[in-house]
């Protein structure tokens, strides 16, 4: 992968291509062996020369526009020793793009119709920059296929699926590849996996495994033949079955929505320190409208009293971050919403506001269910404010998951 664009290195634009391509290529049985990001201009030449001498296929993103710093097309032709010519079909497509929109095409756009002799033009119905495919037989330097794709995701991703995937399948000849499994765990650290099951996983013949840690979550990746993957999964479950969120790549919030749907249970939330993050995560899942009723963000004590009926006396005696308040927030959300289950959270996100008794990172979570005793637990996530909110929301959602699973 060769990603071009000065804006990617300045930090003005987030480079999401690497992760996206990694996932999409893996579905084809392919792996990215190296990913390089270079600024616009001559740096592309050096990176491309190195890449085509080493790789079987190179995917280049960006630099196909009409401006003076869009030089990917020209540099590629130079590196591969192929002449650039104007492709009539690409030119007509460009002219039609502007005509349909009632716009006049600037002369600078004409360079976007330039294509290395013998290369395939990849249509771009979502923009002006067509892609280019240079087959290995045209490459004068090495037996390497080169794909030139536009940078904007709205143009790049459809082009990849429509034009690049069939060509990569034909080039690779891969019809079947080892299965892969991603297991998501929460409430357990990466070091726990290393200490408890690393040696067992390493002893499974033909099993490739790895970990990826996120805030409040660890993903275990298993790749290999079916028996090897099955053995690796069982090893992980023997040690951490209660911590397993999913073994199909589903996020915690997606699993919660799935469980709510299967059980026909309605959920409400009452949040203070997370500021609505729990509700946001739930409502990011398609279909959540069928199971999610209310999301209360009661940041101020007055809101806790007015909206959820929290006792002013308990707020004064115990403070907002306390077991009684967490319980009452959950009970209030359950009562007002009419839902079947309600989860609440109140905590200290920091960086100030903590004390010796209640340090920054402390949170209380309440869980109320119809015809069941209200429960509350204290969690401690001493992290930066943003990460605290993520970790606290993870703890709350996981408690809902575990209660629903029971």
**Integer Cα distance of 385 and 298 in angstroms:** 18
Torsion over CA: 85, 89, 92, 97 (sign): negative
Q: Binning pLDDT at 50, 70 and 90, where does residue 77 land?
A: very high
- List C-alpha distances in Å: 387 to 127, 216, 346: 38, 9, 15
CATH of 252-405, one of 3.40.1260.10, 1.10.3300.10, 3.40.50.300, 3.90.950.20: 3.90.950.20
pTM given for the model: 0.76
Structural contact between residues 228 and 205, judged by C-beta atoms closer than 8 angstroms: yes
Question: 182-202 pLDDT, tens per residue?
Answer: 999 999 988 999 899 999 999
Residue span(s) of the chain under CATH 3.40.980.10 come to: 2-172
Average pLDDT, the chain: 93
Superfamily of domain covering 2-172: MoaB/Mog-like domain (3.40.980.10)
- Pairing verdict, β 131-134 and 120-122: antiparallel
Q: What is the pLDDT of residue 91?
A: 87
Q: Binning pLDDT at 50, 70 and 90, where does residue 127 land?
A: confident
Phi, psi (deg, nearest 5) at residue 229: -65, -40
Residue span(s) of the chain under CATH 3.90.950.20 come to: 252-405
For the chain, report the end-to-end CA distance as a whole number of angstroms. Answer: 46
Q: What is the pLDDT of residue 249?
A: 86
Q: What is the pLDDT of residue 111?
A: 87
Q: Binning pLDDT at 50, 70 and 90, where does residue 27 land?
A: confident
Q: What is the pLDDT of residue 224?
A: 92
Residue span(s) of the chain under CATH 3.30.70.2860 come to: 180-246
Question: 129-175 pLDDT, tens per residue?
Answer: 899 999 998 877 788 999 999 999 999 999 999 999 999 999 999 88
| pLDDT of 178 over the 80 cut | no
Mean pLDDT computed over 238-259: 95
Question: 355-378 pLDDT, tens per residue?
Answer: 999 999 999 999 999 989 999 999
| pLDDT of 49 over the 90 cut | yes
Q: Binning pLDDT at 50, 70 and 90, where does residue 12 land?
A: confident
Question: 277-295 pLDDT, tens per residue?
Answer: 999 999 999 999 999 999 9
Q: Binning pLDDT at 50, 70 and 90, where does residue 93 land?
A: confident
Q: Binning pLDDT at 50, 70 and 90, where does residue 312 land?
A: very high
Q: Binning pLDDT at 50, 70 and 90, where does residue 23 land?
A: confident
Q: What is the pLDDT of residue 198?
A: 94
**Integer Cα distance of 152 and 147 in angstroms:** 15
Q: What is the pLDDT of residue 339?
A: 98
Higher-pLDDT residue of 220 and 141 is 220
* Domain 180-246 top-level CATH class: alpha beta
Question: 31-42 pLDDT, tens per residue?
Answer: 899 999 999 888
Structural contact between residues 76 and 148, judged by C-beta atoms closer than 8 angstroms: yes
Mean pLDDT computed over 289-304: 98
Question: 325-359 pLDDT, tens per residue?
Answer: 999 999 999 999 999 999 999 999 999 999 999 99
Q: What is the pLDDT of residue 288?
A: 98
Query: Locate tokens 């892609």: which residue?
Result: 131
């Amino acid at each position: 992968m060769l990603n071009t664009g000065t804006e990617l290195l300045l930090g003005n634009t987030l480079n999401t291509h690497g992760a996206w391509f990694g996932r999409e290529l893996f579905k084809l049985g392919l792996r990215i062996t190296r990913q390089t990001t270079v600024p616009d201009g001559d740096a592309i030449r050096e990176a491309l020369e190195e890449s085509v001498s080493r790789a079987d296929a190179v995917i280049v993103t960006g630099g196909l526009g009409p401006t003076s710093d869009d030089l990917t097309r020209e540099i590629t032709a130079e590196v591969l020793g192929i002449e650039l010519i104007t492709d009539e079909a690409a030119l007509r497509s460009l002219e039609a793009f502007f005509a349909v929109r009632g716009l006049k095409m600037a002369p600078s756009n004409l360079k976007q119709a330039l294509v290395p002799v013998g290369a395939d033009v990849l249509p771009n119905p979502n923009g002006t920059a067509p892609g280019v495919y240079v087959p290995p037989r045209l490459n004068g330097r090495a037996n390497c296929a080169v794909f030139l794709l536009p940078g904007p995701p709205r143009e790049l991703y459809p082009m990849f699926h429509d034009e690049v995937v069939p060509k990569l399948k034909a080039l690779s000849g891969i019809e079947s590849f080892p299965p892969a499994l991603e297991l998501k765990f929460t409430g357990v650290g990466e070091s726990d996996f290393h200490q408890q099951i690393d040696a067992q996983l390493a002893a499974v013949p033909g099993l490739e495994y790895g970990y990826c840690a996120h805030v409040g979550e660890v993903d275990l990746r298993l790749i290999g033949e079916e028996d090897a993957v099955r053995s690796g999964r069982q090893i992980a479950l023997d040690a951490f079955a209660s911590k397993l969120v999913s073994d199909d790549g589903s996020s915690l919030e997606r699993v919660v929505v799935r469980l709510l749907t299967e059980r026909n249970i309605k959920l409400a939330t009452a949040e203070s320190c997370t500021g609505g993050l729990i509700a946001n995560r739930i409502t990011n899942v398609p279909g959540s409208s069928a199971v999610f009723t209310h999301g209360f963000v009661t940041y101020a004590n007055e809101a806790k009293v007015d909206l959820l009926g929290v006792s002013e006396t308990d707020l004064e005696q115990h403070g907002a971050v306390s077991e009684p308040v967490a319980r009452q927030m959950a009970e209030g959300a359950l009562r007002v919403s009419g839902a079947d289950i309600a989860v609440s959270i109140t905590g200290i996100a920091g960086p100030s506001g903590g004390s010796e008794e209640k340090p920054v990172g402390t949170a209380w979570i309440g869980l109320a269910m119809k015809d069941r005793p209200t429960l509350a637990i204290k969690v401690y996530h001493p992290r930066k404010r943003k990460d605290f909110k993520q970790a606290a929301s993870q703890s709350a959602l996981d408690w809902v998951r575990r209660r629903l699973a029971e």
